[in-house]
Structure 1
Amino acid sequence: MCGKISDTKMCLFFIFILSTLEICQSLAPRNVYTNHWAVRIAGGQEEADKLAAKYGYNNYGQIGSLEDHYHFHHSRVVRRAAFSTRGAHSFIQMDPKVDWVQQQLVKQRVKRFIKSDTRSPDPNFVHFNDPKWSNMWYIHCTDKNNRCRSEMNILAAWQRGYTGKNVVVTILDDGIERNHPDLAQNYDQLASYDVNGNDHDPTPRYDSSNENKHGTRCAGEVAAVANNSHCIVGIAYNARIGGIRMLDGDVTDVVEAKSLGIRPDYIDIYSASWGPDDDGKTVDGPGPLAKQALEMGIKKGRKGLGSIFVWASGNGGRQGDHCSCDGYTNSIYTISISSTTENGNKPWYLEVCSSTLATTYSSGEFYDRKIVTTDLRQRCTDGHTGTSVSAPMVAGVIALALEANPLVSWRDIQHLLVKTSRPVHLKANDWKTNAAGHRVSHLYGFGLVDAEGMVVEAKKWRSVPTQHTCTRMYIRADQSLNSTITSTGCTEQAEQHVSYVEHVVVKVLIVHPRRGDLEISLISPSGTRSQLLAKRLFDNSNEGFRNWEFMTVHCWGERTEGQWILEIIDSPSSLRNPEVLGKLKEWTLVLYGTSGHPYQSHGTQHSRSRMLEIPTPSRNPNGPEPPPEVLKTCVSHCPLGFYDNVEARRCRRCYKGCERCVGRTPTECRSCRRGLYFNPLNTTCSETCPAGYFADDSKSSGVA
């Protein structure tokens, strides 16, 4: 020793050391190993059983729909351990019959709802005898100020006769209360399973805090029974509803893969309102098995049409999180859904990213109205919140569209959402129109979901052409971060040729001392800018991005040929040495889309336009009025006042007074020309509003 230290100083010294160790431990990732394994072995169930018995395992069966993948469990291994365990059982890794084996890690997964207070109900407004119907402001278009915003048009979809019949929706969550009076009639045992308990009963585990209420709340939004004098009305109130209990226990790659792959030929829609921590510092997504399960569902689910996976975008807004760091919402195979408040404001919990496809209503500040739905112990709640609300809402709307046309594919559904969702009154400073004419925002995707628009379009929909994939990799030779890839859309390879974009994926390998300092954008050849990543204040990781995939839908419908620019801004914070810079090692551009125009029949998909015939005024101002000339031209998109007649490949004129429409009749009008008012009773345009409505000039519509 160099000198004496007093007892007080020694105590302070050890307290400092212990505090430092705790901080270091809290920063370091903590792997928790379970006594469950994923094993790939050829030969079928019998061969897997023999191998399991040989090394002391129990074979829990095939993992979802993944062929040759089995779930093994070992009862003599510690259930949760800090290190991968060793012993006689570990020799399974050396067995020549085993192609691959992985001990399962616990994955942190959070439900995407917000804890908040409830508020008193609105004045009674009853169309159904369900007692909470008057509270369902987001459906029936009435509030205490006698104003109306019903842009989700769910009532109008019901009035057309679509209620979700013969469609099966499953909630991936903490279980659903299958005997709830508002769910029992629509509950589907075949669409349900308890992955946590390995049985067929998805009933939640009850405790004093009602911790496992989330799945039941989500299920009610989709398919609560109508007119049964209990609670609420589901958006698809005649759909079948199931539940997969998978969040009430250790969540592993095997658990997720099993859940995503249960009965893919029977279940149409899987709704998930959970994901990695929304803490502003996590970068996480599906493991290898869950990725395979998603791909398998897309390729083989619904008898080849593709399973539909709907995902809540995330609640990390207050932590500055960015949903592009969530590999579930960032996948081309999932439909990522955002939220807005009743007044079209950004909720405080909302995350922004370029993978968000569409939006529904949810809660906002404490004074904003929330969502009413079913609750545990056969009750109801009017306090359901967060982006957890929005995914089941869209699952219900998609169920209506599937009833209208059961033959639409998973990609058709995404096209329908892009085509029918609308910005309406949603407030965002980044709304832009891309080169294909679509309005899009990082907060709300293509806008508020329109249930009537979905069913009308779905009824006449022709499936889009086959999906092609064009991939280009660029390996950096210099030290700068920005980079450019020039793409031809793989015109030289017919099977990979992408002329019209759907999804764009950017895979990056970036070395960086503090990941949260990075901002990443992609600029398309048409000039559309997608923010792939914003700065994250709490992300202190020095891991950078190791082949992480960002995804954008903002270029949907644009042409692929030209320069794609990856723009990376590195703004050193005070938490790092500004002289230590990051490096872009390599990046890959993956374009998903079609070789021909997606909205033309397969026989004419290489023709990229439709004929527009517009009567023009006479050019002789003094003489008698001759018949109008007809201007004939080819356009890629029909202008205002016209609709796309897909069969004839013509732009046909809307009914008089209509600015947007889906057909020629008065009842197929979607919005009106300036000076006219939209009549929500019969969807026509007129100079005056019907009895019981007043003129809302801000929206050119009649309001109840």
Structure 2
Amino acid sequence: TMRGYSRYGTAVGFMVLLNALLIFATQATEGVLTDHLLVQLHEDAQNEAHQVATQHGLQSARKLPFGDGLFHFYPQETSKRRSKRSTRIKQSLQKDRRVKKVFEQEGFSRQKRGYRNINDIEVNMSDPLFTKQWYLINTGQADGTPGLDLNVAEAWALGYTGKGVTIAIMDDGIDYLHPDLASNYNADASYDFSSNDPFPFPRYTDDWFNSSHGTRCAGEVSAAANNNICGVGVAYNSKVAGIRMLDQPFMTDIIEASSISHMPQDIDIYSASWGPTDDGKTVDGPRELTLQAMADGVNKGRGGKGSIYVWASGDGGSYDDCNCDGYASSMWTISINSAINDGRTALYDESCSSTLASTFSNGRKRNPEAGVATTDLYGNCTLRHSGTSAAAPEAAGVFALALEANPNLTWRDMQHLSVLTSKRNQLHDEVHQWRRNGVGLEFNHLFGYGVLDAGGMVKMANEWKTVPERFHCVAGSIQEAHKFQSGNKLVLAITTEACQGKDNFVRYLEHVQAVVTVNATRRGDLNINMTSPMGTKSILLSRRPRDDDSKVGFDKWPFMTTHTWGEDPRGTWVLEVGFRGDQPQRGVLKEWTLMLHGTQSAPYIDQIVRDYQSKLAMSKKEELEEELDEAVERSLKSLMSKNN
């Protein structure tokens, strides 16, 4: 059941609590009883609780904040089970005129969440690297933080392993002869756009990395289980297709578009661990054909449910910003950042407001087993895969588990599930703190909505109802030139009704784009923030110290944020543009157009109300009717919140 969904309210009163205590006390006689007692005193004796306890051989009594006249009578020392002495104490208390009732307390087990012994988890794999795949089940291997993983064990235990789902690795090819990949290789959905043939085998080079990248990514997703070879894929019964498209002297729009649109009715998920150069000074994205191919993919792929594009956010570190990468910042892709095995951000991680969620890369310490364990070229295995390159395929594997649980999920459903089920877990960063947006969703500028939770996602996917139709609204535009300089921040505002009263009204946000044209004497010193009417501040552009551009700037560049997900966009949006850096700079902003994307009806709230009204009708308890609004509010908070 949904936590926070209260079937009983204050109207039920003390009798329900007392009856429940009686029931639990009765059941407790069958378990391990302790020498702690729940005692109800008569009203005129409640001030004598400590005296009553000590007179009967106990240390003291503590008044309980719930119920009427309830006290915890506790002993000097706690033993594992009740002694004969405590039986005598109970009997004597029952004879005391000041005591109304005595309830024995059952002892039961509770376990600290976090640390898990791999031998205690019922996942038995014969694969030699499985115990080193900390990102699957983290028990503290390689100096990592126990419990910090993708929670795949829960999804596997529910029977989801990626059956019937095909993931395409768009990269430098796949060693499809590898014994850990061969059984899951989908040859019919594979193609080599570098050599124009159906055999995307990597080209041998002296640079091993240049030809092993795709094979390593493929193993993370679909490496077979229990075959005594390497490790296990996140979705180890899924099919993997190879699309070789990176291995030529240059990229073309035709090759990119052809790869992204290859067999969209057979391929469910496309995983891309590449993008424009992560040098901290490049601003680039998909060209015309590729944009059209991606649009066709989300609208027509998978029988109209939409192709799912998973993108690595980038490896430019603090010198770069993934909102300058038009692939990672696209609304049509799910941009994935990485965390290392102790919950911190990797030194190469880029931050941006378009990142939706995170998975894992390597450890920061020089532990030889802290990398991502996966398949390698020519039948080999490796423990040294890393980077956001490693993060995107892990996400693709989690999405494959969700698609097996519910094949009807649309590309937008998958994004909503990522937002709702990703967890803060133990992810942390010294600079970017966790915050909540206007509807209570917890997000981080580096990690998005947190680390993907495979168990949580498949459970929610099982009962998921497709989100309402998506609408697009141009909320407003400022076209006049506005000059600004170091020390003087430019602040602009757009007040909008979000197309209310029109067919394209947007009431509940998904993605928000700020299309900006701006030039500066030094583009890398630009800093752009945008604040929503509900007070959520998105960092659209951070300083990029290596970007010396003074001519091109940003020309109608669509900066995107996912941080206002679920918010009401009506009201005033504020854009702040300024400089950060040691040298004085000047700039001019020529355009800011605000684009809103989302739904008119509530994706989750309507269902909560219907469920509650159904329970209300079945219960026939008139006293619960007045609690409807309160219960809906509690349910929303429960749904929208994240466990730390």
Same fold (TM over 0.5): yes
Contact 1:124 1:134 in 2 (8 A): no
User: Contact 1:612–1:638 at 8 Å: present in 2 too?
Assistant: no
Q: Note if contact 2:483-2:586 (Cα within 8 Å) is conserved in structure 1.
A: no
- Kindly report which structure 2 residues correspond to 1:443-462, keeping only aligned pairs within 5 A, or say none: 443-462=446-465
Secondary structure of the residue aligned to 1:397 is: helix
Is 1:157 the counterpart of 2:165? The answer is: no
- Determine if contact 2:340/2:363 at 8 Å carries over to the other structure: yes
Letter in 2 for 1:562: G
Query: Is residue 289 from structure 1 mapped to residue 293 from structure 2 by the alignment?
Result: no
Q: Secondary structure at the match of 1:140?
A: coil
Structure 1 match to 2:407: 406
The correspondence of residues 350-499 of structure 1 with structure 2, limited to 5 A, is: 350-367=349-366, 369-428=370-429, 429-471=432-474, 472-476=476-480, 478-480=482-484, 481-494=490-503, 496-499=504-507
Q: Does 1:315 align with 2:318?
A: no
Deviations 1:330-364 (A, max 9, x none): 00000000111111111111110000000112114
Aligned residue number for residue 227 of structure 2: 228
- Contact 2:136 2:149 survives alignment (8 Å): no
Equivalent-residue separation in structure 1 for 2:306 and 2:631 (angstroms)? 28
Among 546, 551, 562, the alignment partner of 2:560 is: 551
2: CA distance between counterparts of 1:612 and 1:535? 52
Q: CA deviation at 1:502?
A: 0.3
Structure 2 equivalent of residue 334 of structure 1:
333
Equivalent of residue 515 in structure 1, options 486, 502, 523: 523
Q: In structure 1, what is the equivalent of residue 190 of structure 2? A: 192
SS in 1 for 2:557: strand
User: Following the alignment from structure 1 to structure 2, what is the Cα–Cα distance between the partners of residues 220 and 423?
Assistant: 26
Q: What are the within-5 Å matches in structure 2 for residues 136-151 of structure 1? A: 136-144=133-141, 148-151=146-149
Q: Deviations over 1:465-513 (max 9, x none)?
A: 011000122212553532111111101312x110010000011111222
Shift of 1:639: 2.7
* 1:526 maps onto 2:534 in alignment: yes
Partner of 1:596: 601
167-176 or 419-428, larger mean C-alpha shift: 419-428
**Which 5+ residue runs of structure 2 have no aligned equivalent?**
1-117, 485-489
Partner of 1:674: none
Contact 2:185/2:239 (8 A) holds in 1:
yes
Q: 1:311 to 1:280 in 2, by over 3 A?
A: same
Counterparts of residues 657-676 of structure 1 (less than 5 Å): none
Which letter does structure 2 place at the counterpart of 1:134?
T
Q: CA deviation at 1:544?
A: 1.2
Within 2, Cα distance between the matches of 1:147 and 1:396? 22
Higher Rg: 2
Match of 1:215 in 2: 214
Aligned amino acid, residue 297 of structure 2: G
Q: Deviations over 1:233-284 (max 9, x none)?
A: 1010110100100000021111101110100111000000011111110000
- What is aligned with 2:84? none
Residue 513 of structure 2: SS of its match in structure 1?
strand
TM-score normalised over the length of structure 1: 0.68
The whole-number CA distance in structure 1 between the counterparts of 2:632 and 2:211 is: 48
Kindly indicate whether the alpha-carbon contact (under 8 Å) linking 2:222 and 2:233 is maintained by their aligned counterparts in 1: yes
Q: CA deviation at 1:613?
A: 9.5
Shift in alpha-carbon separation, 1:176–1:477, aligned structure 2, 3 A: closer
Once residues 643 and 392 of structure 1 are traced to their aligned partners in structure 2, the CA distance between those partners, rounded to angstroms, is 30
Structure 1 residues 59-106: Cα deviation after superposition (integer angstroms, max 9, x where no partner): xxxxxxxxxxxxxxxxxxxxxxxxxxxxxxxxxxxxxxxxxxxxxxxx
Q: Is the 8 A contact 2:148 2:341 kept in 1?
A: no
- What displacement does 1:367 show? 2.2
SS class of match (2:135): helix
SS in 1 for 2:449: coil
Q: Shift of the alpha carbon at 1:642?
A: 8.6
State the Cα distance separating 1:643 from its structure 2 match: 6.3
Distance between the aligned counterparts of 2:632 and 2:188, measured in 1?
44
Return the offset for 1:517: 1.3
Deviations 1:590-631 (A, max 9, x none): 000001101256xx89x89977999xxxxxxxxxxx998775
Output the CA distance in 2 between the equivalents of 1:259 and 1:564: 38
Deviation at 1:572, TM superposition (A): 5.8
In structure 2, the CA distance between the partners of 1:207 and 1:124, relative to structure 1 (3 Å rule), is farther
1:639 aligns with 2:642: no
Work out whether residues 182 and 228 of structure 1, in 8 Å CA contact, stay in contact via their aligned partners in 2: yes
Per the alignment, in what secondary structure is the counterpart of residue 362 of structure 2?
coil
Letter in 1 for 2:427: L
Q: Deviations over 1:504-561 (max 9, x none)?
A: 0011111222111110001000010000001111100012111111000000000010
Secondary structure of the equivalent of 1:479? strand
SS in 2 for 1:343: coil
Structure 1 pair 281/641, CA: closer, same or farther in 2 (3 Å)? closer
Q: Do the aligned partners of 1:349 and 1:386 also contact (CA within 8 Å) in 2?
A: yes
Q: In the TM superposition, what is the alpha-carbon distance from 1:189 to its structure 2 partner? A: 1.0
> Is 134-143 or 369-378 further displaced after alignment?
134-143
1:270-289 equivalences in 2 (<5 Å): 270-289=270-289
Instruction: Say whether 1:132 aligns with 2:135.
Output: no
Amino acid at match of 1:581: R
Q: CA deviation at 1:141?
A: 3.0
| Identity fraction in percent | 46
Change (3 A) 1:641 1:465: closer
Q: Aligned partners of 1:277 and 1:298: how far apart in 2?
A: 25
Provide the C-alpha distance between the structure 1 equivalents of 2:469 and 2:246, rounded to a whole number of angstroms.
35
* Cα deviation code 1:645-693 (max 9, x no counterpart): xxxxxx9xxxxxxxx9xxxxxxxxx97xxxxxxxxxxxxxxxxxxxxxx
Higher helix fraction: Structure 1 or Structure 2? 2
Moved more, 144-153 or 398-407: 144-153
User: What is residue 574 of structure 2 aligned with on the other side?
Assistant: 565
Aligned to 2:587: 582
Q: Which residue of 2 aligns with 1:677?
A: none
Correspondence list, 1:96-107, <5 A: none
Does residue 249 of structure 2 align to residue 252 of structure 1?
Answer: no
Displacement of 1:329 = 0.4
CA contact (8 A) 2:144 2:341 kept: no
Match of 1:324 in 2: 323
Higher RCO (CA 8 Å, separation ≥ 6 residues) = 2
Aligned letter for 1:313? S
Shift of 1:430: 2.1
Residues 520 and 567, structure 1, Cα contact 8 Å, conserved in 2 = yes
Post-superposition shift, 1:322?
0.7
User: 2:393 & 2:144 partners in 1: Cα distance?
Assistant: 27
C-alpha separation between the residues in 2 aligned to 1:498 and 1:360? Answer: 31
Offset at 1:313? 0.5
Deviations 1:285-321 (CA, angstroms, capped at 9, x unpaired): 0011111111010110001000000000011115x10
The alignment status of 1:504 with 2:512, answered yes or no, reads yes
